[in-house]
Amino acid sequence: MGGGGEGGGGGGQGRGRGGGGGGGGGSRNQGQGGGPPGASSSGIANDYSQNFVDTGLRPQNYLRDSHLTDRYEEYPKLKELIARKDRQVAAFATPPLFLRADLRSLRLSPETFGTKFDVILVDPPWEEYVRRAPGLVSDPEVWSWQEIQALEIEAIADTPCFLFLWCGAEEGLEAGRKWGFRRCEDICWIKTNKEAGKRAYLKAANQHPESMLVHTKEHCLMGIKGTVRRATDGHIIHTNIDTDVIVSEEPELGSTRKPEEMYTIIEHFCNGRCVAAGACGPEWVGAGGRVAEHLDTVGAGGG
């Protein structure tokens, strides 16, 4: 899922047109637009890391053209491609379906849903979510890695199939291999804090006692089962439409909600049957204890 714009990585260069900044720690960039408040346009280098120390505003706040609505304004062919893809998704999307159930006891199988799936999105209730916001997480349920790997994801995965797993540790690779997938991409969600207030990261509730750095990103591993080829499998995949970086505002403290753009990336990439274990969007099939509460607020999903 390569670049749709000039950027790609979330570290030094950023995505889109980059505004002279990026997410780089300690980097100095000659940026004339999109710099920190009060920055000079006379060629003086902006230090986005120092600006973070002074104001609490993250470097990625100054990335330009990071939103879906304006990302491809300077790339008319890509803009038209995205518009056509959105129309295709809307035309073939199915009504939303969800199954509220305890996934610890529910046996995942084709008989449970009446089909296998081409895309599986897994957003487990990690212990990390509770640890980083004790007493504030709306769903305090915590699963161990053993319980997550015990999910019979392989039973509902067709061939070929794509797995998207939100995770923050190397055990995600082990889970993917256990379910019969091999890693092929890593989608990074870079969180902005434009609306969180200055220096909010200094508040005790926002501190991570087990971390040495301030967490501003999350990862979603993408795995593949089987083999697909761009030249022959255009009926199920459409590559190089989106980038592998999502830049969006961090949700309120205690929320485990993921960015809507994740669904858009998946829908643009794969024309298939989609299921989400944990939370899901409209026109997806969802299973778990939290699916219904997400249906009114996230973007449309694939059919």
Dist CA 181 CA 174 (whole Å) = 10
The dihedral built from the CA positions of residue 260, 262, 264 and 267, taken in this order, carries a sign that is negative
Task: Kindly state whether residue 87 falls inside one of the protein's structural domains.
Answer: no
Q: Residue 203 is which amino acid?
A: K
In a domain? residue 75: no
Closest CA to 35 of 45, 284, 209: 45
Taking the C-alpha atoms of residue 122 and residue 175, their distance in angstroms, rounded to an integer, is 11
Mean pLDDT calculated for residue range 133-140: 57
Reported as a pLDDT band with limits 50, 70 and 90, residue 132 is low
Q: Is residue 83 part of a domain?
A: no
The CATH number covering residue 115 comes to 3.40.50.150
Give the pLDDT band (50/70/90) at residue 9: very low
Residue 88 lies in a domain: no
Report the alpha-carbon distance of residue 196 to residue 207 in Å, rounded: 14
- Is residue 188 within 8 A of residue 245, CB to CB? The reply is yes
Percent of the chain with pLDDT over 70: 69
Reply yes or no on whether the pLDDT at 154 is more than 80.
Answer: yes
- For residues 51 and 199, give the distance between their C-alpha atoms in angstroms, rounded to a whole number: 11
Residue 126 CA to residue 141 CA, distance in Å, equals 8
Question: In angstroms, rounded to a whole number, what is the distance separating the alpha carbons of residues 264 and 301?
Answer: 7
User: Hey, what are 17's tokens?
Assistant: 């047109």
141 pLDDT more than 50: yes
- d(C-alpha 179, C-alpha 174), whole Å: 9
Contact 217, 257 (CB under 8 A): no
Specify the range with the lowest mean pLDDT, choosing from 22-26, 66-70, 144-148, 244-248.
22-26
What is the span of the domain harbouring residue 116? 95-294
- Per-residue pLDDT at 124: 85
Provide the Cα torsion 283, 285, 288, 292; round to 10°.
20
Average pLDDT, the chain: 76
pLDDT over threshold 50, residue 6: no
- Flag whether 21 is in a domain: no
The pLDDT score that the predictor gives to residue 126 is 80
Model confidence pLDDT, tens digit, residues 83-105: 998 998 888 888 878 788 888 88
89 within some domain = no
pLDDT of 178 > 70? The answer is yes
| pLDDT, position 160 | 95
pLDDT digits over 215-258, tens only? 789 999 999 999 999 889 988 888 888 889 999 998 887 778 89
Lowest pLDDT segment from 42-46, 91-95, 284-288, 299-303: 299-303
Q: What is the mean pLDDT of residues 33-41?
A: 56
Position 40 scores a pLDDT of 55
- Asked if 228 and 160 touch (Cβ cutoff 8 Å), the reply is yes
Assigned domain for 6 exists: no
Q: What is the per-residue burial (b if ≥16 Cβ within 10 Å, else e) of 70-103?
A: ebbeeeeebeebbeebeebbeeebeebbbeeeeb
Highest mean pLDDT among 121-130, 133-142, 216-225, 292-301: 216-225
* Cα–Cα distance, 263 to 282 (Å, whole number): 10
Q: What is the mean pLDDT of residues 268-290?
A: 71
Helix ranges (H only) for the chain are 48-55, 76-92, 110-113, 127-132, 145-149, 171-178, 261-269
Q: Which pTM does this prediction carry? A: 0.76
Find the range with the poorest average confidence among 10-14, 178-182, 215-219, 298-302. Answer: 298-302
Number of domains making up the chain: 1
Judge whether 33 lies within some domain. no
Q: Per-residue pLDDT for 150 more than 80?
A: yes
Distance (Å, rounded) from C-alpha 15 to C-alpha 245? 7
